[in-house]
Amino acid sequence: MLRNGRAWFGGALAGIAGGFFGVGGGIVLVPILTGSFKLSQHQAHGTSLAIVGATAAVSLLVYALHGNVVWVTAAVVGFASVWTARWGARLAARTTPERLARVFAVFLLLVAVRLLWKVPPASDHIALGSVAGIALNLGIGLVVGLMSGYMGVGGGFLAVPAFTLLLGMSQHVAQGTSLAVILVTAPVGAFEHHRLGNVRTRLVPPFALGAILGGPLASLLAQRLPPTILVRAFAVFLVINAVNLWVRAERKRRPAVS
């Protein structure tokens, strides 16, 4: 019972992060699963992906009701991400994530600095009718899918800044569109991780229940915030996660050196 309670609470935290920032919540789930629940890094990645779909689904509903989802972009990016999410999951099963985690932490920090330095102005997002627009959306999808499968997260931490900085979406629309992509990407990565034996299925229902409760509430709050404040909050969220990724990678590296 205590274990289920911790799982509900962890799922609620992931749901809050997912709904408020337009991410799946895996960036919160992976440390909880490896820390409190003693899962291996690979198991945490696979189990996280099996959970974040629930966060994305309930949070997406709120964003969609407020008109903050570009469905065509989500479909194209989601389609592209499907092809690389499985590769990312396979790569994760064969490699240690410490070096990639450090590199990705630096990337998140650079994106956060860019967002804090100057909030990107919302404009008409790049139309898919052009060759450049289609290629850009497909490219974003391929990278999001690869990172999602490898890192065990939905990919929103990469999709949201890509949508704002590269496609000119407002923060609210970028987050809603990101959740729609995650709804496609996460199950594909989770399926591949499950096939490799890296999903602890008994933990999925209680975590998903917590996420279903926390996601909509945070999503509703996000709709009420001005875009500038939401962008700044997202940037701070990226900084916190960049530091967390770096520290975790360093802790895993030290025993290997000694």
- Contact in structure between 207 and 14 (CB atoms under 8 Å): yes
- Whether the predicted pLDDT of 63 surpasses 90: yes
Number of structural domains (the chain) is: 1
Angle between helices 131-151 and 98-117 (to 10 degrees): 130
Alpha carbon distance 244, 107 (integer Å)? 13
**Cα separation of 175 and 86, whole Å?**
23
Can you read off the two tokens belonging to residue 197?
A: 């034996």
Instruction: Report the predicted TM-score, pTM, of the whole model to 2 decimal places.
Output: 0.81
Helix residue ranges per DSSP H, the chain: 2-21, 26-35, 41-65, 71-94, 98-117, 131-151, 156-165, 171-195, 204-224, 227-257
| pLDDT at residue 258, as a whole number | 44
Among 27, 37, 28, which Cα is nearest to 2's?
Answer: 37
Alpha-carbon gap, residue 176 to 169, rounded angstroms: 10
Q: What is the pLDDT of residue 75?
A: 92
Give the integer Cα–Cα distance in Å for 120 and 7. 37
pLDDT grade, residue 257 (50/70/90)? very low
- The string of pLDDT tens digits covering residues 147-185 is 777 776 667 888 888 898 888 888 899 999 999 998 888
Summarised one tens digit per residue, pLDDT across range 85-103 is 778 777 776 766 677 667 6
Residues 6 or more apart in contact with residue 81 via CB below 8 angstroms: 141, 142, 144, 145, 148, 155, 181, 184, 185, 188
Query: What percent of the chain shows pLDDT beyond 90?
Result: 20
Rg (CA), the chain: 17
Neighbours of 197 (CB within 10 A): 11
Residue 34: per-residue pLDDT? 81
CA distance 12 to 6: 10
By residue range, what is the domain housing residue 84?
2-257
Position 1 scores a pLDDT of: 56
- Quote the pLDDT of residue 106: 80
Task: Read off the pLDDT of each residue in 196-222 and give the average, rounded to a whole number.
Answer: 90
Q: What is the pLDDT of residue 173?
A: 92
Q: What is the DSSP letter of 151?
A: H
Asked if 184 and 122 touch (Cβ cutoff 8 Å), the reply is no
18 class by beta-carbon count within 10 Å (0-12 exposed, 13-18 middle, 19+ buried): buried
> Does the pLDDT at position 119 exceed 70?
no
Q: How confident is the model at residue 129 (pLDDT cuts 50, 70, 90)?
A: low
Statement: residue 66 has pLDDT above 90: yes
